[in-house]
């Protein structure tokens, strides 16, 4: 048995298999793009069969580079959270397309529940707000609108799960229907103090508990792959939603430590230790870790549009050839020419929570060109993060230093702009794919390669680059004034 760790990182736009050594060094990676389906305005779907097929193929392609299944000590899985898959337990086949976390179709149901006075109690129990972002209303929509899902529920063969649950079911040949505590805490169906799904919450959302997976730890021997899958049974020893995994990968394991991941969206988590968070500023409470039944928690702020704004500029407007051009374009001009972008392309997340919001670009003139739009897009990352910083501070969870990661974090202009607008040190690890690294840390600890998660994180985290604030206060205030005015238009 070797000490290689296989990480399956199933994201929103792609799925990857990554091979790590026990010291945290990535030695190989395979990636496949996922098809995005947009059947109606505000709807976003994935094909669960495609997710499984491409994840399995990436794993099959990479396992020989470790020398075979026997050379892999453990598998760690991390995934896009809140996305819901419905399948038949007997056939093992999906019953409909997955509803992706970005999907807004359940906004009317959320409004109905809010109007009925349920939000305060739901937030008290779950740490979440009533928003289409979360999984519970997606499950209810499937039951109400997809006859195959309703028929499977009536027959007792329906299985609901977030993406890691779907992958584990397929990897184990249908033997394990489980979810880890971090993903379960994003469903609206589990209280933060509960060890499993809550009967009252399931009744409120109309989701049958029999269709839900068992809630398990995030590290340990949680399941084993079917021996026929990869030519040998490999233990699955780490499970985590992507943002919790990135927080672990950034070694934010002490209360107060904070990370921000800039990928498709932007997600900030501050470790709250064993204290269950209760935000009064529209932030979220979530499970950060659960190991041997012991939980730690985090306060989270979720921004729906980050890297997807740059993708929109590239793919829909055609003003970029590749995303990395934004760094050069932003640095080519002294300021954005008064252009401000509010990237509410799929509503506004924390701390505003406006599902009905739509994006706005203000300050356009004949002098506006590619550079101004690219710079305004990157500036929007700092503006949204600043709003979150204010809300965290108001909740008593002020940031001292911000640790950043994700694909956009490689943009040094954006990293410096974050430091300038926040007025604090920003740290970036040399290896920014900390979501995958966190899953590797969990799997390494779960397989016994390290005695605990803290030891694994210390040993596997790489070197850091730091960015210090340099912006004049007057410039910062002028930017923020333009941002607030643009927000009012939204």
Q: pLDDT tens for residues 159-187? A: 999 999 999 999 999 999 999 999 999 99
- If you average pLDDT over residues 308-333, what whole number do you get? 93
Residue 208, Cβ neighbours under 10 Å: how many?
Answer: 15
pLDDT tens figures, 238-247: 999 999 999 9
Confirm if 435 and 406 have CB atoms less than 8 A apart.
yes
Q: Confidence class of residue 460 from pLDDT cuts 50, 70 and 90?
A: very high
3-state class percentages of the chain: helix first, strand second, coil last, to nearest 5: 40, 25, 40
Beta bridge mates, 354:
348
Backbone φ and ψ for 136, nearest 5 degrees, come out as -60, -45
- If you average pLDDT over residues 131-139, what whole number do you get? 94
pLDDT higher for 474 or 1? Answer: 474
Mapped onto helix, strand or coil, the DSSP state of residue 81 is coil
Q: Mean of the per-residue pLDDT values for the chain?
A: 93
CA dist list (Å): 174 to 84, 208, 220, 240: 18, 20, 20, 20
Say what percent of the chain tops pLDDT 70.
Answer: 100
Confirm if 376 and 330 have CB atoms less than 8 A apart.
no
Say what percent of the chain tops pLDDT 90.
Answer: 84
Query: Could you give the residue ranges of the DSSP H alpha helices within 39-79?
Result: 48-62
- If you average pLDDT over residues 292-314, what whole number do you get? 92
> What's the DSSP call for residue 478?
H
Confirm if 273 and 255 have CB atoms less than 8 A apart.
yes
Which own/partner contact pairs does 146-151 have at CB distance under 8 Å and 24+ positions apart?
146/86, 146/95, 146/96, 148/95, 148/96, 149/86, 149/95, 149/96
- Quick check: 318 pLDDT over 90? yes
- Report pLDDT for 293: 92
Confirm if 270 and 314 have CB atoms less than 8 A apart.
no
- Quick check: 387 pLDDT over 60? yes
Mapped onto helix, strand or coil, the DSSP state of residue 436 is helix
Mapped onto helix, strand or coil, the DSSP state of residue 346 is coil
Residue carrying structure tokens 């108001």: 394
- If you average pLDDT over residues 339-352, what whole number do you get? 90
pLDDT tens figures, 268-286: 999 999 999 988 888 999 9
Cα four-point dihedral sign 261, 263, 267, 273: negative
- Report pLDDT for 282: 84
Q: Strand pairing of 26-33 and 14-20?
A: antiparallel
- Quick check: 72 pLDDT over 70? yes
Residue carrying structure tokens 């509960």: 194
- Report pLDDT for 406: 86
Residue 477, Cβ neighbours under 10 Å: how many?
Answer: 10
- If you average pLDDT over residues 207-215, what whole number do you get? 96
- Quick check: 1 pLDDT over 50? no
- If you average pLDDT over residues 322-344, what whole number do you get? 94
């Amino acid at each position: 048995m070797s000490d290689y760790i296989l990480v399956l990182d199933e994201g929103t736009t792609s799925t990857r298999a990554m091979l790590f050594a026990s010291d945290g060094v990535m030695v190989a990676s395979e990636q496949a793009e996922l098809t995005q389906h947009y059947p109606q305005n505000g709807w976003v779907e994935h094909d669960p069969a495609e997710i499984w097929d491409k994840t399995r193929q990436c794993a099959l392609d990479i396992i020989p580079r470790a020398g075979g299944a026997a050379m892999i000590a453990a598998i760690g899985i991390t995934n896009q959270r809140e996305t819901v898959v419905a399948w038949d337990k007997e056939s093992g086949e999906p019953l409909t397309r997955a509803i992706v976390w970005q999907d807004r179709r359940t906004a009317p149901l959320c409004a109905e529940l809010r109007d009925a006075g349920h939000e305060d109690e739901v937030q008290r129990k779950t740490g979440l707000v009533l928003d289409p972002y979360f999984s519970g209303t997606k499950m209810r929509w499937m039951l109400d609108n997809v006859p195959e899902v309703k028929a499977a529920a009536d027959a007792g063969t329906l299985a609901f799960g977030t993406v890691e649950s779907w992958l584990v079911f397929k990897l184990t040949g249908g033997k394990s229907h489980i979810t880890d505590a971090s993903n379960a805490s994003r469903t609206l169906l589990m209280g933060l103090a509960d060890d499993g799904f809550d009967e009252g919450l399931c009744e409120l959302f109309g989701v049958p508990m029999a269709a839900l997976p068992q809630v398990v730890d995030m590290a340990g021997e949680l399941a084993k792959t079917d021996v026929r899958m990869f030519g040998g049974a490999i233990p699955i020893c780490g499970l985590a939603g992507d943002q919790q995994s990135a927080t672990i990968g950034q070694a934010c394991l002490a209360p107060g430590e904070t990370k921000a991941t800039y990928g498709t969206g932007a997600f900030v988590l501050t470790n709250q230790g064993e204290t269950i968070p209760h935000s009064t500023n529209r932030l979220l409470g979530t499970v950060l870790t659960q190991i041997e039944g012991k939980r730690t928690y985090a306060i989270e702020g979720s921004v729906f549009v980050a890297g997807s704004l740059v993708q929109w500029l590239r793919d829909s407007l055609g003003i970029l050839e590749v995303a990395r051009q934004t760094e050069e374009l932003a640095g080519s001009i002294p300021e954005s020419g008064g252009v401000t972008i509010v990237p509410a392309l799929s509503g506004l997340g924390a701390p505003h929570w406006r599902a009905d919001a739509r994006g706005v670009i203000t300050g356009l003139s004949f002098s506006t060109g590619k550079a101004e739009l690219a710079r305004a897009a990157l500036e929007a990352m700092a503006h949204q993060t600043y709003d979150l910083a204010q809300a965290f501070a108001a909740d008593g969870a002020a940031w001292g230093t911000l640790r950043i990661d994700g694909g956009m974090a490689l943009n040094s202009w954006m990293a410096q702009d974050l430091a300038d607008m926040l007025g604090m040190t920003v740290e970036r690890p040399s290896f920014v794919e900390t979501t995958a690294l966190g899953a590797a840390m969990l799997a390494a600890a779960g397989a016994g390669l390290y005695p605990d998660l803290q030891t694994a994180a210390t040993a596997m985290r790489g070197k850091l680059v730091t960015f210090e604030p340099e912006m004049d206060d007057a410039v910062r205030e002028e930017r923020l004034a333009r941002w607030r005015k643009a927000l009012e238009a939204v």
